A and B are shown apart, each in its own frame.
Chain A
């Protein structure tokens, strides 16, 4: 029999004001914010534990006061957003970037490789209404960031974990090892080895729970680089397996195009440019 431990701190003190949570959107598709609404069963727990003080997708409350936790979605793409991210930082104690846009500029950072004026001319009927920074930037280019959650979009379980740990006063543990570790823990069969599929798992951060492989599909890198990946060696292996240079370039240049390791891997072939 395992003996119960005596409790150290009394759990039920008089109710303190709940921590204030703000959810902020910049240049993005809203997918990461929606992960929060997607928490369904746990959403009531969230609302019980924190005061959702600002969240345009869920409440009409105006932006005012300070925040214990700020969840930031989206990249900084124009000067208005540049001012806004500084304002959010000034109001917030713990600032968490949600997803590829906020941490790396996102898919829209593909434009960083071209001239913005040219793209604006091609895309918009009336370019005069468009004001853009020359690149799509991560929040960290402007303000200090406390934590970046990977993914396009993020994994709601990781978000809950971040909130649970933060509310408990501990630093959340977000692992950044290669996805392969998670793939193998789940007992999935490697699609690269068993079928020759171009899987980015060995260079990609864990976080998704190895969803794609559980549907027999290779990873396409939507959680960005793992901690210290050897992405170029993976790119070389994919080429050996028959992936065309252009396919390899696209694989490493989609969700985390600005990540230096993925940029380098995308350039392993002569004749292709980033």
Chain B
């Protein structure tokens, strides 16, 4: 009941977000979070609370995204946008090293050290997405040192979603709308204050630098109610029962041909997906023939070149490429990494130029199986 202090929790005034941002910069973090650019809420460097999309929200549906003014001054009153945190942990273009031809040797020049990021406003689905990418880049014999350096240093401040977009389906994937671990601090936004949950010692240290007061039981109840209301407002669902079998048994389903008629093979879904990790490596020599950069760039199974091999292309048609994407996300990912490759963020639905919806495609495939 109200009155008793809630351990691991605190309450801060909204104005403390500014203190938080300034403090993080002062402690050497590069603070990145939501901000408005080019008609959308993107993730970029945040210099002050004024950079946040305060009072804005988004309207999302398949193939469409629009900004809209809210009738309140919410700091985090929107869902996820086109960018995800992989922009920083797994940059779209990264020079791995530069090779220089000296008189007697080839010199290998290491890249600049990885920046130390503070992520502000990480949603439940995206926290899971980071964990999913951890399995790709940090587990097993081949650990990616670039991802590792960024990931280990990153401070993660989560935000519990107070509203879902029509494209969200985190409840189906068990990833949201409430942050379920993997953060240093988690914020729940109320009209005049934030409830702060501490997730790590580092988070505790950050909280200590803010003017806070103890949370009471009523704050926790309010946060629970908010999470429940958000979950109940979610309109999209994805049935992930009988994965990976569903797709493995339907590799010749006629639906793949139908979706291939609409799919542009444009790669947008894989670019915006917070778990897609495919990349290729280009060598960029200079004209003088003295230095060459080895550059890693995001790539995609929708790029025909990506499946070029000696003697042909393993996925020559869009049908096979779309099937690869969906089968990898929802089925073979489970075999490969022990989790689904989809966290239910809905980005691939919104940012598909033709509005192809993986929940609809999966339902169609399932329909035939049950018939």
Contact = CB atoms under 8 A, between A and B. Distances in A.
B264 A185 contact: no
Given A7-B105, A234-B264, A184 B272 contact: yes
Nearest to B66: A194
Nearest to A199: B353
A52 to B, nearest CB: 14
A187 B268 contact: no
Interface in B277-306: 282, 284-289, 297-300, 302-305
Nearest to B298: A185
B353 A192 contact: yes
A166 to B, nearest CB: 11
Contacts, number: 149
Contact of B304 (A5, A194, A201, A227): A227
Interface stretch (B1-9, B106-114, B119-127, B214-222): B106-114
B305 A175 contact: yes
B349 to A, nearest CB: 10
A193 B351 contact: yes
Nearest to A157: B284
Contacts of B266: 178, 180-181, 201-202
B263 A230 contact: yes
| Interface size class of chain B, counting residues whose CB lies under 8 Å from the partner chain | 35 or more
B261 to A, nearest CB: 6
A190 interface: yes
Interface in A167-188: 167-168, 173, 175-178, 180-181, 184-188
Interface in B298-356: 298-300, 302-305, 318, 350-354
B312 to A, nearest CB: 13
A4 interface: yes
A173 B281 CA distance: 12
Nearest to A2: B108
A45 B288 contact: yes
Contacts of B303: 177-178, 181
Contacts of A229: 264-265
A257 to B, nearest CB: 21
Interface string A41-61: 010011011000000000000
Nearest to A176: B305
B233 interface: no
B108 A181 contact: no
A11 B106 CA distance: 11
B167 to A, nearest CB: 11
Given A5-B106, A181-B267, 18 more contacts: A2-B110, A6-B105, A6-B106, A7-B104, A7-B106, A49-B288, A164-B289, A177-B305, A184-B268, A184-B272, A187-B92, A189-B40, A193-B351, A194-B38, A196-B64, A230-B261, A230-B265, A233-B354
Interface of B: 37-40, 42, 63-67, 82-83, 87, 92-93, 97, 101-108, 110, 261-268, 271-272, 282, 284-289, 297-300, 302-305, 318, 350-354
22 contacts: A2-B110, A4-B108, A6-B105, A7-B105, A42-B287, A45-B287, A49-B287, A181-B267, A181-B271, A184-B92, A185-B297, A187-B92, A190-B268, A191-B39, A194-B66, A194-B82, A202-B268, A203-B264, A216-B39, A229-B264, A229-B265, A233-B354
